[in-house]
């Protein structure tokens, strides 16, 4: 990470486990010390001070042993369909063996120029302890590599993010990080577009998927100007109301529009009853069409799909209108239910 002191750039290597950086505001611009927090999905935030004069980094949060010490971090790059390299951050238990037999949970977002969430979550410690592999795919549409990274994954380039996600999963499996039968995909909000597209196009790559307040009906949403966010969302998705080309492009990847009779992985969706960003009506419409496609496929099951179990399609409707859990207790309950679903679908037994 590069800091500037008296006009000269100074480099200082941060701890290897650091994934997120948050600078504390300081009321005095003449200060010679800056304070910031470092964290990762498996490491609670740690406060540091950096002296611009002494070029010295000081850890201020007292901890006996960093959580991340027991976890190995791997940084990979997957080559997407157009040969663009896509970063992946992987965490797994230190000294873990037979990684191809371990469960893998993949996180993705890829929209609005926003990074995939790499903040610390306590449940990740449980997963790592239980032998899970956690992977964070920094696909186009997000903001990990700047404005261009976002622009290359929005409006008429949304397929780039979808191809990126597929490339990331294929690389993980190729390198021996789990296998499809032990792989789950997780995302929330607009991340549901990429996850939902992969769910339609490459269902064989995963065993289960967990979505939180997912955006799944892009086309119908963007065709309804009366919805509260449709107009301001045009910068991300385009305007199908006036552009027929844009309309057809959205239709080509929209999760709802591309549901078809085939074998699907199991799915768990959590949504709030009165969420203004993700209306319940659109999610219900998606669930109805998906279940209809699953039933149609079961009735005309091909020889290749014999022996495959019917997927569980579960919708968990929470009271209230929050886009995320309204309280810490609600959040904890939702995480517990989602993890129980994943353990069940992947045939795992929780160690503790």
- Whether residue 51 lies in the annotated active site: no
Measured distance CA(20)–CA(39) in Å, rounded? 5
> What angle, rounded to 10 degrees, do the helices at 122-129 and 328-345 form?
20
What 3-state DSSP class applies to 4? strand
Instruction: Return the SS3 of 172.
Output: helix
The whole-angstrom separation of Cα 246 and Cα 223 is 11
pTM of the predicted model as reported, rounded to 2 decimal places: 0.91
Contacts of residues 288-292 at CB distance under 8 Å and 24 or more positions apart, as own/partner, are 289/256, 289/259, 290/259, 290/264
Max intra-chain CA distance, the chain: 72
Instruction: Tell me whether residue 344 is one of the annotated catalytic residues.
Output: no
Q: Is 256 exposed, middle or buried (0-12, 13-18, 19+ CB in 10 A)?
A: buried
190 near 196, Cβ under 8 Å?
Answer: no
Are 165 and 139 contacting, i.e. CB atoms less than 8 angstroms apart? yes
Q: Which residues of 283-308 are buried (b: 16+ CB within 10 A; e: fewer)?
A: beebbebbbebbeebeeeeeeeeeee
Q: Name every residue whose Cβ is closer than 8 Å to that of residue 276 and which is 6 or more positions away in sequence.
A: 228, 229, 321, 323
Q: What is the pLDDT along the chain (352 residues), one digit of tens a residue?
A: 445 555 566 677 777 788 888 888 876 767 788 888 989 999 988 888 888 777 788 887 666 455 666 889 999 999 999 999 999 999 999 888 899 999 999 999 999 999 999 999 999 999 999 999 999 999 999 999 999 999 999 999 999 999 999 999 999 999 999 999 999 999 999 999 999 999 999 999 999 999 999 999 999 999 999 887 788 899 999 999 999 999 999 999 999 999 999 999 999 999 999 888 888 999 999 999 999 999 999 988 765 666 677 999 999 998 876 666 567 788 889 999 999 999 999 999 876 5
Distance between CA atoms of residues 121 and 302, nearest Å: 42
- Tell me how far apart the alpha carbons of residues 322 and 274 are, in angstroms, rounded to a whole number: 7
Distance in angstroms (rounded) separating the CA atoms of residues 130 and 71: 12
Report how far Cα 300 is from the mean position of its chain's Cα atoms.
33
Catalytic residue among 96, 202, 323, 330: 323
Of the candidates 195, 217, 266, 275, the residue annotated as catalytic is 275
Are 83 and 89 in contact by the 8 Å Cβ rule? The answer is no
- Phi then psi for residue 54, to 5 deg, are -90, -5
Q: How many residues does the chain have?
A: 352
* Catalytic residue status for 305: no
Which residue among 187, 189, 266, 272 is the active-site one? Answer: 189
CA distances from 219 to 123, 209, 212, 258, 348 (A): 34, 22, 19, 11, 37
């Amino acid at each position: 990470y590069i800091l500037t002191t008296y006009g000269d750039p100074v480099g200082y290597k941060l701890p290897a486990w650091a994934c997120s950086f948050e600078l504390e505001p300081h009321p005095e611009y003449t200060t010679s010390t800056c304070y910031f927090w470092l964290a990762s999905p498996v490491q609670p935030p740690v406060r540091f001070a950096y002296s611009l004069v002494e070029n010295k980094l000081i850890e201020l949060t007292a901890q006996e042993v960093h959580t991340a010490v027991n976890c190995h971090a791997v940084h990979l790059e997957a080559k997407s369909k157009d040969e663009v390299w896509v970063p992946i951050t992987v965490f797994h238990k230190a000294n873990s063996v037979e990684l191809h037999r371990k469960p893998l949970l993949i996180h993705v977002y890829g929209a609005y120029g926003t990074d995939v969430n790499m903040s610390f979550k306590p449940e990740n410690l449980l997963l790592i302890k239980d032998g899970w592999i956690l992977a964070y795919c920094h696909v186009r549409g997000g903001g990990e590599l700047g404005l261009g990274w976002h622009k290359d994954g929005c409006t008429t380039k949304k397929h780039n993010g979808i191809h990126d996600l597929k490339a990331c999963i294929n690389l993980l499996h190729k390198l021996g990080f789990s296998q499809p039968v032990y792989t789950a995909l997780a995302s929330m909000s607009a991340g549901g577009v990429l996850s939902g597209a992969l769910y339609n196009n490459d269902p064989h790559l995963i065993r289960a998927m967990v979505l939180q307040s997912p955006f799944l009906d892009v086309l119908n949403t963007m065709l309804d100007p009366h919805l509260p966010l449709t107009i301001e969302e045009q910068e991300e998705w385009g305007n199908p109301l006036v552009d027929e080309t844009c309309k057809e492009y959205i239709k080509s990847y929209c999760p709802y529009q591309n549901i078809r009779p085939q074998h699907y992985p199991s799915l768990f969706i959590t949504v709030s009853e009165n969420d203004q960003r993700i209306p319940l009506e659109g999610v219900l419409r998606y669930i109805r069409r998906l279940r209809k496609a699953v039933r149609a496929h079961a009735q005309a099951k091909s020889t290749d799909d014999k022996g495959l179990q019917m997927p569980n399609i579960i919708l968990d409707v929470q009271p209230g209108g929050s886009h995320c859990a309204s309280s810490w207790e609600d959040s904890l309950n939702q995480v517990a239910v989602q993890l129980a679903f994943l353990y069940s679908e992947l045939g795992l037994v929780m160690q503790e």
